[in-house]
Amino acid sequence: MDSKRVLDEDAYVRGGEAQTAVKILVVGHFAVGKTTFIGTISEIPPLSTEEDMTRVAEAVDDLKGVRSKTTTTVAMDFGRLTISDHVVLYLFGTPGQQRFIQIWEDMARGALGALVLVDPERLADSFAVIDLIEQYGLSYAIAVNRFDHTPERTEAALREALDLLPDTPVVVMDARDENSSAQALITLVRYLQERAALEHA
Ligand SMILES: Nc1nc2c(ncn2[C@@H]2O[C@H](COP(=O)(O)OP(=O)(O)O)[C@@H](O)[C@H]2O)c(=O)[nH]1
Ligand SMILES: [Mg+2]
The predicted pLDDT at position 65 comes to 55
Could you give the angle at which helices 155-162 and 124-135 cross, rounded to 10 degrees?
60
Q: Is the pLDDT of residue 7 over 50?
A: no
Q: What percent of the chain has pLDDT over 90?
A: 50
* Domain carrying residue 100: 17-200
Most informative mutation of 25, 35, 36, 74 for ligand 1 (most atoms within 8 A of CB): 36
The predicted pLDDT at position 68 comes to 60
Q: What is the atom index within ligand 1 of the atom nearest the CA of 28?
A: 20
Q: Does residue 165 fall inside a structural domain? A: yes
The number of domains in the chain is 1
Q: Is 142 left (phi over 0), alpha (psi -120 to 50) or beta?
A: beta
Q: Is the pLDDT of residue 163 over 60?
A: yes
Q: What is the atom index within ligand 1 of the atom nearest the CA of 175?
A: 27
Q: Which residue in 94, 43, 58, 92 sits closest to 73, CA to CA?
A: 94
Indicate the average pLDDT of the chain.
Answer: 82
Q: What is the pTM of this model?
A: 0.82
Give the CATH number of the domain where residue 171 resides. Answer: 3.40.50.300
Over range 170-191, report the average pLDDT: 96
Q: Does residue 38 fall inside a structural domain? A: yes
* Res. 18 pLDDT band, cuts 50 70 90: confident
Q: Which residues line ligand 1 (CB under 6 A)?
A: 28, 30-36, 67, 69, 73, 145, 147-148, 174-176
